[in-house]
Structures are given as structure tokens and as C-alpha cells.
């Protein structure tokens, strides 16, 4: 009765007041009616700002999203009082739409994207426009809202935006990155903190490449300042195949047999020669190319395994380092499984090497999910630099670790330093009780090698065995190493009779 539509009857009512009551009735009505409408909220004064809406999509803006998130954080986003989930999705290279399709075409595309995002969600979910091509959402939790379901929802959004858009007879194909934040992962329970977390996750997704998805986790990668020219050089080097894995052997302390290789990234610059990993890995981080580097390393590693097999060379497995960025990729497990199928290799041939500080510090469910899934698939899990990251036994179990690599700092001078021997012996005893294999890394002398064998370390790796080598050098090294191993004594019936 007192809604905005009541204003349409105002002229007729005022005319009736004058007709039946004269000027006095008209004056009373003119004073009381605006007050009544203002009291009921039907009349908005000029200084009251209406909620801002995006001119192109008609969606409300950032302020509306923050208000909804704040309200839902305090009152709950559902009947159970659960806080909301915040999702941010952005069209890849959205800034170039106007230059490519004109202002009118870009607006048509953005309106279509806004409609598709809303259609993916429930009616109660809030969708807003944060900036051209970027949409923010507040989603009420359900009993099934968890990491897996949010990944699936993000994938559905990407699929919806990836459907062709017809524009003047042209088919426009888009990709989008998604970042989301579960409220349990955000330290400050405020709407602004939740939105900041989701946008941080989106930043990480965009660094990983078009069409990526990331969930917010504590301690996401800090930016590293490196020269712009080095970053550009790294991008070029990856594209032109200058960065490849070199392989360092791992051998058994019991038999001397080759038990595997570790793949280590090396850059052979056409003019500068060898570039140290410490010099180019920060540039990889700056350019957000750890996932691209991981793809290169995995492809060449699996290619090497297949080639060794075809040559009749026995290489049980190869360990590949996976960065925290890669381990947060929701698609990592599927990528690795697909690559293993493509090369027709058993999962046990690939060892996933994870830094101990990732295990010790990570509260990221995505990292746990990926490592556990790869372990179930049959891949080995190596915990690198053990002893430096303070990983607890519960974390070792949680991440399904199969082998610990004892850090070089404990190996150095272990043959002469009693304290070092005691420390390594304690680590080996713990590993034995937990049923874990062990590998000493950075073994540089025969004395260190011999002491580790005496203490019970199962595998060793380091300069005393071999330096990292190009793939083309591995076949000769394997043959030469195999020739040095003495044959196993024959203790059959004929030997006993003698």
C-alpha cells in the first residue's frame, strides 16, 4: 500500500482533498503525505545514495558484495548460521576485449558472461561486478560445500563461460580464472578479509596461466623482485627448450645398484652457457611459470624413462620436484595420470618430490588432496630436505610420504663427526619405525657414503656417485656403473658341493 507505486495516485488524492476540504485540507495533506512516505521508506531523499550498479551488466558492485559478506559472516549465510564462501572469477585478458571487438562488442560479451555466471548459481547466491570482466560471488554453504565441491563449481563456471558467444557472426571463445576462499581458511572473519582472500587466490590462478583455479591458503607465494630482462629471458628459454632436466643418479648402499634418478632443472643459455638454478628460479617465480616449468620437467622425464626402457636399460624410477604452486593446482592429479597413460608407464616409475617445509607449513587442503591422490595412484612420495622444515610425524603420515631424503647439512662430515652420526642414526631409527625408506643427499666423499651404509641409510645421491648429467650422457653412465658392480656370488647346489 505504501510502496513506490503509491506515488502514482498522489495528484488525484491531493485534488480530492482540495475538492472536499478546501485549502486547509490540501495544506495538511501536502505536509503529512511526504512525512508518511519517508517514514515507510517509499520516498528516497536526494542525499541517500542508491546502491551502485555496473553500467554494462546491471549487477551490483563491490560495496554490495562486502555488505552481503559482512552480514553473512555475523548472521550466517544459511539456516545453520554457517559463514559464506567467496568466489571471484575473471575473464582472461578481459582488458583486451574492447580493443578486439569494440566497446559495443565488449559490452555484449560482458553481459552474456554475467548472465552465464548467474545461471550457474542458485537464486539465493549473490553475484556482483567487481570490475569489467571480474565477478564476485557470495555463496551460502550447504552440508556438501567443501573443497571438492567448490572445485567442481569453479569448473562449471569456466565451462559456462567457455561456451561460444555469437557476436556479429563471429564465435568468441573465452577462458577464465577462478579464485575462492573458504571461510575456515581466512584468519579475520570479516567480509573484506574473505574477499581479499578470494582475490589473492585469483591472483595465484592468473599467475599459473589461463583457465586456472586456486583455493586460498595461508602463506601463498610472495613476490620476488628480479630484473625484468631476466624474467623475459626465462620465458623465452622455456618456450625454446633451453631449460631441461639433467639427471643425477641414486644408488643402493646395500647392492650398489642404480635405484633411480632425480630430475634437476638446468638452463643452457646459447650465449652465457650454464645458468645456475639459484639465478633463474626466482625469475620463474616472478613470471608465475613454476607450473610451466613443471610441465617441461615432467614431459622430458617421462620421455627419458620410455627411451631407457626401449634401450633395455633398467631405471626403476625418476624423482621430479613439484613446487608449492603446482601442488595447489586442482588439476595436477589428472595431468600426471594422463601423462603416465600417454607414455604407457606405471605410476611407480614417477616419484613426487616435495620440500619438507611445504609439508611442515602447509594448511592447504588442495596440497594434501593432490599428494594423497598421487600416492594412491602408486607414485612414490619423497620428502626432500628432511630435518630443515620441522615436519611432524603426523604430517609425514598425512602426506603419505614413502621416503625421506636426509638433508645435506646432516650428511656433511658424517664419517668424522660423532654428533652428525648420532643425528643421522636418530633419523634412520625413526624412519625404520615408521616403515619409510631413506636417502642421503649431497654425499660428496666415499667416507660419507660408507658411513651412511654402515648406519643403515638405504640410498645415497651426490657428487661421490655422479654429478647431474644431460640425458644423452645417462646411457653410457648406466652401462659403466653396471659394469663396476661385482656379480652376486652363486650359492646354488653346485657351489655348496664344491
pLDDT given at position 224: 41
- For residue 136 the three cell numbers come to 564476485
pLDDT above 60 (res 498): no
SS3 136: strand
Q: DSSP secondary-structure letter at 391? A: -
Closest-CA residue to 402 (of 330, 468, 458): 458
Mean pLDDT of 273-297: 82
Q: How far apart are CA 295 and CA 167, in angstroms?
A: 35
pLDDT above 90 (res 14): no
Q: How far apart are CA 318 and CA 307, in angstroms?
A: 13
pLDDT above 70 (res 227): no
Q: How far apart are CA 474 and CA 248, in angstroms?
A: 9
- pLDDT tens digits, residue range 230-252? 777 888 888 888 999 999 999 99
Q: How far apart are CA 287 and CA 112, in angstroms?
A: 31
Q: Looking at the DSSP assignment, which residues form a beta bridge with residue 246? A: 264
pLDDT above 60 (res 315): yes
- For residue 494 the three cell numbers come to 653346485
Q: Looking at the DSSP assignment, which residues form a beta bridge with residue 86? A: 138, 181
Closest-CA residue to 458 (of 256, 192, 276): 256
| H or E element at residue 165 | strand 165-167
Give buried/exposed letters for 481-496 (b at 16+ CB in 10 A, else e): beeeeeeeeeeeeeee
SS3 29: helix
- For residue 387 the three cell numbers come to 630435518
179: Cβ contacts below 8 Å, ≥ 6 apart: 87, 88, 89, 198, 199, 200, 201, 202, 203, 204, 205, 213, 214, 215, 216
- pLDDT tens digits, residue range 89-106? 999 988 888 888 888 888
Share of the chain above pLDDT 70, in %: 80
- For residue 364 the three cell numbers come to 592447504
pLDDT given at position 45: 44
Give the residue with greater pLDDT, 492 vs 366: 366
pLDDT given at position 76: 55
Closest-CA residue to 218 (of 29, 57, 361): 361
Mean pLDDT of 216-239: 67
Confidence band for 55, pLDDT divided at 50, 70 and 90: confident
Range name among 30-44, 82-96, 319-333, 371-385 with the lowest pLDDT average = 30-44
pLDDT given at position 321: 93
Confidence band for 146, pLDDT divided at 50, 70 and 90: confident
Confidence band for 422, pLDDT divided at 50, 70 and 90: very high
Are the beta carbons of 56 and 94 closer than 8 angstroms? no
SS3 122: coil
User: Cβ–Cβ contacts within 10 Å for residue 410, how many?
Assistant: 22
Q: How far apart are CA 139 and CA 355, in angstroms?
A: 35
- Output the pTM of the full model: 0.67
pLDDT given at position 449: 94
Closest-CA residue to 367 (of 177, 138, 185, 210): 185
Q: What are phi and psi of 117, to 5 degrees?
A: -65, -45
- For residue 206 the three cell numbers come to 592468473
Mean pLDDT of 469-492: 84
Give the residue with greater pLDDT, 188 vs 216: 216
Amino acid at each position: 500500500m505504501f510502496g513506490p507505486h503509491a506515488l502514482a495516485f498522489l495528484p488525484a488524492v491531493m485534488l480530492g482533498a482540495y475538492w472536499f476540504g478546501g485549502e486547509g485540507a490540501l495544506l495538511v495533506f501536502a505536509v503529512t503525505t511526504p512525512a508518511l512516505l519517508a517514514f515507510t521508506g517509499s520516498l528516497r531523499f536526494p542525499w541517500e545514495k542508491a546502491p551502485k550498479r555496473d553500467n554494462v551488466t546491471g549487477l551490483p558492485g563491490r560495496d554490495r558484495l562486502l555488505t552481503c559478506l559482512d552480514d553473512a559472516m555475523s548472521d550466517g549465510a544459511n539456516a545453520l548460521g554457517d559463514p559464506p564462501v567467496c568466489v571471484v572469477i575473471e575473464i582472461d585478458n578481459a582488458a583486451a576485449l574492447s580493443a578486439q571487438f569494440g566497446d559495443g562488442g565488449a559490452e555484449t560479451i560482458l553481459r552474456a558472461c554475467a548472465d552465464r555466471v548467474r545461471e550457474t548459481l542458485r537464486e539465493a547466491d549473490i553475484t556482483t561486478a567487481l570490475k569489467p570482466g571480474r565477478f564476485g560471488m557470495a555463496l551460502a554453504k550447504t552440508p556438501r560445500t567443501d573443497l571438492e565441491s567448490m572445485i567442481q563449481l569453479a569448473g562449471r563456471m569456466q565451462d559456462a563461460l567457455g561456451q561460444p558467444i555469437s557476436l556479429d557472426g563471429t564465435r568468441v571463445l573465452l577462458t577464465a580464472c577462478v579464485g575462492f576462499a573458504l571461510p575456515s581458511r581466512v584468519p579475520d572473519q570479516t567480509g573484506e578479509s574473505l574477499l581479499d582472500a578470494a582475490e589473492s587466490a585469483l591472483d595465484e590462478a592468473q599467475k599459473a596461466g589461463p583457465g586456472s583455479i586456486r583455493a586460498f591458503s595461508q602463506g601463498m607465494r610472495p613476490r620476488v623482485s628480479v630484473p625484468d630482462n631476466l624474467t623475459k629471458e626465462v620465458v623465452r628459454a622455456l618456450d625454446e627448450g633451453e631449460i631441461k632436466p639433467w639427471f643425477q643418479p641414486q644408488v643402493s648402499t646395500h647392492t650398489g645398484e642404480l635405484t633411480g634418478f632425480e630430475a634437476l632443472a638446468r638452463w643452457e643459455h646459447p650465449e652465457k652457457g650454464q645458468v645456475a638454478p639459484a639465478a633463474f628460479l626466482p625469475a620463474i617465480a616472478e613470471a608465475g611459470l613454476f607450473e610451466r616449468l613443471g610441465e617441461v620437467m615432467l614431459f622430458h622425464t617421462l620421455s627419458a624413462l620410455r627411451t631407457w626402457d626401449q634401450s633395455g636399460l633398467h631405471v626403476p624410477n625418476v624423482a621430479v620436484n613439484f613446487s608449492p604452486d603446482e601442488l595447489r593446482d586442482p588439476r595436477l592429479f589428472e595431468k600426471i595420470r594422463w601423462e603416465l597413460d600417454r607414455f604407457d608407464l606405471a605410476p611407480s616409475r614417477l616419484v613426487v618430490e616435495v620440500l619438507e617445509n611445504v609439508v611442515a607449513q602447509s594448511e592447504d587442503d588442495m596440497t594434501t588432496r593432490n599428494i594423497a591422490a598421487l600416492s594412491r595412484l602408486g607414485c612414490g612420495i619423497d620428502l626432500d630436505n628432511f630435518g630443515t622444515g620441522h615436519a611432524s610425524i603426523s604430517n609425514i603420515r598425512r602426506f603419505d610420504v614413502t621416503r625421506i631424503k636426509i638433508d645435506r647439512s646432516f650428511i656433511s662430515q658424517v664419517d668424522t663427526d660423532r654428533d652428525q652420526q648420532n643425528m643421522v642414526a636418530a633419523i634412520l631409527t625413526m624412519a625404520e619405525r615408521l616403515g619409510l625408506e631413506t636417502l642421503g643427499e649431497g654425499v660428496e666423499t666415499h667416507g660419507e657414503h660408507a658411513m651412511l651404509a654402515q648406519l643403515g641409510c638405504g640410498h645415497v645421491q651426490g657428487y661421490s656417485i655422479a654429478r647431474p648429467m644431460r640425458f644423452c650422457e645417462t646411457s653410457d653412465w648406466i652401462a659403466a656403473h653396471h659394469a663396476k658392480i661385482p656379480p652376486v656370488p652363486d650359492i646354488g647346489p653346485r657351489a655348496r658341493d664344491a
